[in-house]
Each structure stands twice: as C-alpha cells, then as structure tokens.
C-alpha cells in the first residue's frame, strides 16, 4: 500500500456507485480512508436532503465489512471563507489520525478532471490520487428522479436502482416514507411554480434582496419564516428591494416590517458597521439572488422589544453563542453571513 491514509471529500447526496468506486480504489492504495462528509449541518432542502449522520450511515451500509477501514467525519461548509474551510479540514484530518493512534503517509483522492475538483489543489502537502469517473452517475440527477422525475416511485426507477448500492436503495425507500420527504416535496413544488412565473423572461432573472444583521449586547436578531421557502427556519429580517427605494431604505423598511423594532433610522445608520454583498450562485434555490447584508452593531444596552410580523412568524433576540450552534436551522446562507460578520 502506498498510503497510510487517503482523504476522500464529498457531499454524497446520495451516496452512489461512483462514490463507492472511489472508496474501493482508495482502500486498495491505503490502510485506511478518511471520508469527509461535506455540507454538514446545512438546513434540509432538496439540494441537501440528508443530514451528515444519515449520509454517513449510507456509506457504512454500502461498504459492508470494508467500513471498518473507513474513518467518517462531518465537514461544515464555510461558504464565504475558503481559508477557514481548509483550516477546518486540515484540523479534522490531523485529529482523526491522532485518535486513530497511527501516523504515516497521507494523500488525497478525487476526480481531477471533474469541474468541481479545484479543492484538490488546496492541499499541496498531500499527494493527489486521481480516481477515474464512473460515467452515467450524477447525484444531481438522482435527486431529480427522487423528488419527482419521470418516474415517481424510487423503487421502480431503474435510473436510481442502477446507480446506487442496494443498501442505499433501501434507505431511500425509507426516506420517501418519512415526514421530511413530504416537506421537501412541498418546497420543491413552491420553487417549480416560482420559476414558472419567470419562464417567459428574455433573460434569467437576477433578484436583489437585503438582509439586516442586527447584533445588540451579544445577541443577534432573528425571525422565524412563516411561509415557503424555508418555512420554520430562522433568518435575518429582510426581503426584496422595491423598485422605488434605495438599498439603504429597503433594509430599514424590511427590518421594521418583520420585527416591529422601534430604533430610529438615524440610530440604525450610525450603528452600521459593515455592508457586504453576498452573491454565491447557489445561495438561494429561488434563482440567482444577490443580497446586500447590513451589519448593525449596538455593543451594549437593553434589548429593544421585537415581535414577528409580515412574513415573520416570530422574532427574537438569540445569544450569539446559541446562534452559532443553530446552523442546521438557518435559512439559505444566513448562517454563513453571520459567520462572516462576527468572524
């Protein structure tokens, strides 16, 4: 064997035959394989239907006895900070090797010809092993079939049956019978109807929104979403910019409409610490949505009363220590926006 450990990074949504082929090659070259399950703690959506724990269970079930040579760990995204993601990954790998009790030669394995494989070049300290791609297997296509492709029943969908290990197929059956699947189907229907309204536009639309990140005395102001998308998830007060207002006016209007906060406009402007555009192409499933986030900072004082209104079911001040443990409950990329502003 050429390596003591090979690192394999993926989201595995779901775990399919292509992933299994990479693990088989890695196990032929290394004593153990460190499998990092990416996008851990993201809110459950049709893009991220399964938790990191559920995806780890798929991997273990599919690999059978070979699973004893896998060291599976969750890996969080840091959407707007690649350096923090690299540091996080390096630390997890180092701690995993220490806990395993043995050091040695470490490498990383992946598909270098893949369009999304740029991350492999972020780790020059590790030798890179290229694993040929299994043609005809795509996690995005599998999710499309699962949530309403040409064939509705996953058990009869030959595309899914041919693309995933048998153990994973059984887990997909069970998932479709659970309550989370029904909620995701409703959200999928919402997005389908939403995009249909813009289908006749000459160009794909770009939406402009605002978000108010209000931090006051060690607390952040959050609202619980009343409607789809993201019903029940926590978010910053915000929304779409009206055609007759500026960005500055929009963020203050949305803040007041959704929370009823009584802070004066001048007080908010004086408390503005940062303004930042967040424009990751996949930050919203509604389509290309670019948000202007404002960081308002009030270092001390009593927390102003707030009450959910308009599109907000509830508004509350959440201690920062608590908010930083709520990633899976945040809407879209709002957790990553908070992480960006507070470092």
pLDDT value of residue 154 = 47
Q: Tens digit of pLDDT per residue, the chain (343 long)?
A: 699 999 999 999 999 999 999 999 999 999 999 999 999 999 999 999 999 999 999 999 999 999 999 999 999 999 999 999 999 999 999 999 999 987 789 999 998 766 566 888 899 999 999 987 787 788 999 998 888 754 345 445 677 888 999 999 999 989 988 889 988 988 888 888 888 888 888 988 899 999 999 999 999 999 999 988 899 999 999 999 999 999 999 999 999 999 999 999 999 999 999 999 999 998 998 889 999 999 999 999 999 999 999 888 999 999 999 999 999 999 999 999 999 999 7
Q: What is the pTM of this model?
A: 0.89
What fold, for 3-181? Rossmann fold (3.40.50)
Q: What is the pLDDT of residue 152?
A: 44
What pLDDT, on a 0 to 100 scale, did the predictor assign at position 21? 94
What pLDDT shows up at residue 129?
A: 93
pLDDT, position 118: 80
Spatial distance between the Cα atoms of 275 and 204, rounded to a whole number of angstroms: 26
Parse the chain into domains and list their residue ranges. Answer: 3-181, 206-342
CA 320: distance to chain centroid? 20
The CATH number of 206-342 is which of 1.10.150.120, 3.90.79.10, 1.10.287.1080, 3.90.199.10?
3.90.79.10
């Amino acid at each position: 064997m050429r390596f003591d450990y090979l690192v394999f990074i993926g989201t595995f949504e779901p775990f399919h035959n292509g992933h299994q082929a990479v693990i088989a090659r890695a196990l032929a070259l290394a004593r153990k394989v460190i499998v990092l399950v990416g996008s851990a703690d993201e809110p459950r959506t049709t893009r991220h239907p399964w938790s990191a724990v559920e995806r780890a269970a798929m991997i273990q079930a599919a690999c059978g006895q070979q699973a004893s040579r896998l060291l599976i760990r969750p890996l969080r995204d840091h959407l707007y900070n690649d350096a923090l993601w690299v540091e996080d990954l390096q630390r997890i790998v180092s701690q995993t090797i220490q806990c395993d009790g043995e050091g040695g030669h470490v490498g990383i394995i992946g598909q270098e010809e893949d369009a999304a494989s740029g991350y492999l070049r972020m780790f020059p300290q590790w030798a890179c092993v290229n694993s040929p791609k299994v043609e005809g297997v795509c996690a995005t296509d599998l999710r499309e079939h699962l949530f309403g492709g040409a064939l509705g029943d996953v058990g009869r969908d030959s595309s899914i049956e041919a693309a995933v290990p048998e153990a994973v197929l059984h887990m997909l059956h069970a998932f479709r019978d659970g309550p989370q699947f029904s909620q995701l189907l409703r959200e999928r229907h919402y997005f389908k109807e939403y995009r249909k309204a813009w289908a006749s536009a000459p160009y794909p639309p770009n939406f402009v929104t605002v978000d108010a990140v209000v931090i006051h005395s060690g607390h952040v102001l959050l609202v619980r979403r009343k409607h789809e998308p993201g019903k029940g998830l926590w978010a910053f007060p915000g929304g779409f910019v009206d055609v007759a207002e500026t960005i500055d006016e929009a963020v203050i209007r949305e803040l007041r409409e959704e929370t009823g906060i009584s802070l004066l406009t001048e007080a908010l402007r004086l408390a503005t610490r940062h303004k930042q555009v967040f424009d990751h192409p996949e930050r919203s499933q509604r389509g290309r949505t670019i948000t202007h986030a404002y960081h308002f900072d009030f270092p001390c004082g009593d927390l102003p009363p707030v009450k959910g209104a308009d599109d907000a079911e509830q508004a509350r001040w959440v201690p920062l220590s608590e908010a930083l443990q709520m990633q899976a409950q945040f809407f879209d990329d709002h957790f990553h926006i908070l992480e960006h502003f507070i470092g």
